[in-house]
């Protein structure tokens, strides 16, 4: 699972979740006792890349986050 932006992540994880601190890391999604593991990667929303002062760096970081998700088959 991939969360694109803070709004998406915080809607399921709560407002204490900070994209700036957790982005690009493979994390476990807190689940009820369903017996299923869920993992996710959070990253910036694609529109944030377009608004970033340094678009090249933001885009590179965004792609790196997506690679983490792809390798984990999120």
Find the CATH number of the domain harbouring 62: 3.40.470.10
Which strands form 2-4's sheet, in the order they lie side by side? Answer: 2-4, 39-43, 26-28
Q: How many helices (H) and strands (E) does the chain have?
A: 4, 3
Number of domains in the chain: 1
- How far, in Å, CA of 35 to CA of 17, rounded? 24
Of the candidates 32, 50, 29, the residue with the CA atom closest to the CA atom of residue 41: 29
- Residues β-bridged to residue 4: 43
* Tens of pLDDT, residues 20-67: 999 999 999 877 766 677 899 999 999 999 999 999 999 999 999 999
- How far, in Å, CA of 6 to CA of 32, rounded? 22
Domain span at residue 7 reads 2-72
* Tens of pLDDT, residues 14-26: 999 999 999 999 9
């Amino acid at each position: 699972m991939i969360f694109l932006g803070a709004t998406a992540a915080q809607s399921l994880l709560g407002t204490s979740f900070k994209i700036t601190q957790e982005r690009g890391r493979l994390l476990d999604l807190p689940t009820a006792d369903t017996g299923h593991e869920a993992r996710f990667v959070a990253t910036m929303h694609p529109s944030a890349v377009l608004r970033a002062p340094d678009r090249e760096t933001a885009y590179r970081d965004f792609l790196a986050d997506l690679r983490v998700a792809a390798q984990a088959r999120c």
